[in-house]
A and B are shown apart, each in its own frame.
Chain A
């Protein structure tokens, strides 16, 4: 058991992206999923007790070792400048896409009341959103959705993990209600 935990820890150390339970299972066929998630839980507990420089986060459907936010300033001194923070407008646009996806540009602009072309380009470049295809309506507009990168950047397990904005249920009727255009 102890051994499994250390194997998983070593995998987490070398993994380039969040490690899923299934991915760990393919490397460790002798362990069952329960053992693996127990080991992950123990590792997480150990990191919490130790309160060192990093911790274990469940993001984008997997697990990843990340540095604790309190050390951000030192890390930023150490590594190359990070891309600039997203502007308020970009965050709002991203929030609309995250909560209402799949969504077309005109619906986003309808909610924000302003043009979003430039912002959409920035979000695409930063791989936070992606194009899912075109909607079969006149003009065949592009359909946007968020990416796995979005989940990783915003420290989210999955889309259900999105924070619930204040009373979002009471509205419900966004302009993008088109059930037959929904993508999996």
Chain B
């Protein structure tokens, strides 16, 4: 007869080593700052064996935790030197992250209990958005060269004096992305021209352009061009 194993699928299997540890601590009803390390380590290793026999792929994280627990267990066996006050309890190495994890779990539960929009409470669904008419029209995806053309047009608009103006003040691309995200958060979509103020200096324009490219790469925005008008529009994703 074939070696048939009764298999059970569990939805709520421990997601990571921390979940397993929390489970063991709750099961044994122990204080996280006073973990009976030998007991918990043994139970932890037994669970790993069970999980292996249940054909659950054990990620490396579980093994790392097992190593940490074993290491703490061995440290606990070493005699503490008298008068060595600053030697802290080796178990803190696991107690601290556990405490933090438990807090996050409780925070997540608090969040889930709130009246969630779209789940418990609803708002009037806004009708036509301003730019939905544009979306209905044909839009093509813009390539890098169309973007460069548009960029050139903006540079040409600059007056010649401004072109040679040297300013020390500079905005980093990172800061500009941050600013743009704020603008997009309130507007959802903007035309390419709107991003460049009329009196902008060249360095600002370049930083803005680089910021746009970076944002596209990070998948923060999508760029599309209207077929008839040629207007390039950026959509916040």
The smallest C-beta distance from A38 to any residue of chain B, in angstroms, reads 24
Query: Which stretch from A1-9, A29-37, A164-172 is at the chain B interface?
Result: A164-172
Main secondary structure of the interface of B (DSSP, over half): helix
Asked if A75 and B116 make an inter-chain contact with CB atoms under 8 angstroms apart, the answer reads no
Within 8 Å CB of A111, what residues of B?
97, 100-101, 104
Question: Which residue of chain B is the closest to A156 with respect to CB atoms?
Answer: B114
Q: How large is the interface on A (under 10, 10 to 19, 20 to 34, 35 or more residues)?
A: 35 or more
Number of A-B contacts (CB under 8 A): 132
A167 and B121 form a contact (CB under 8 A): no
Is B110's CB within 8 Å of the partner chain A?
Answer: yes
Contacts of B82 in A (CB 8 A): none
Asked if A132 and B115 sit within 8 Å, CB to CB, the answer is no
Q: Is A98 touching B111 in the complex (CB atoms < 8 A)?
A: yes
Binary flags per residue of B120-132, CB closer than 8 Å to A gives 1, else 0: 1111111001000
* Interface pair B117/A168, CB less than 8 Å apart: no
**A13 contacts the other chain (Cβ, under 8 Å)?**
yes
Interface size on B, residues (CB 8 A): 47
Chain A: CB-nearest residue to B16: A114
* Residues of chain A contacted by B107 (CB below 8 angstroms): 95, 98-99, 162-163, 165, 168
The answer to whether A85 and B119 touch across the interface, beta carbons within 8 angstroms, is: yes
Within the assembled complex, what's the spacing in Å between the Cα atoms of A147 and B126? Answer: 20
Encoded as 1 (CB less than 8 Å from any A CB) or 0, chain B from 77 to 115 comes to: 000000000000000000011011111111111111011
List B contacts of A43 (CB < 8 A).
none
**B118 and A153 form a contact (CB under 8 A):** yes
B177 within 8 A of A: yes
A154 smallest CB distance to B (angstroms): 5
| Residue contact A94 to B122, C-beta cutoff 8 Å | no
Check if B61 sits within 8 Å of A113, measured CB to CB.
yes
| B178 contacts A by Cβ under 8 Å | yes
The 8 closest A-B pairs by CB, nearest first: A114-B16, A69-B120, A165-B107, A16-B126, A163-B110, A113-B18, A91-B108, A95-B108
B contact residues vs A (CB 8 Å cutoff): 15-19, 59, 61, 65, 96-97, 99-112, 114-126, 129, 174-175, 177-178, 181, 185, 218-220
Known: A66-B115, A94-B111. 4 other contacts (CB 8 A): A67-B121, A72-B119, A88-B108, A171-B100
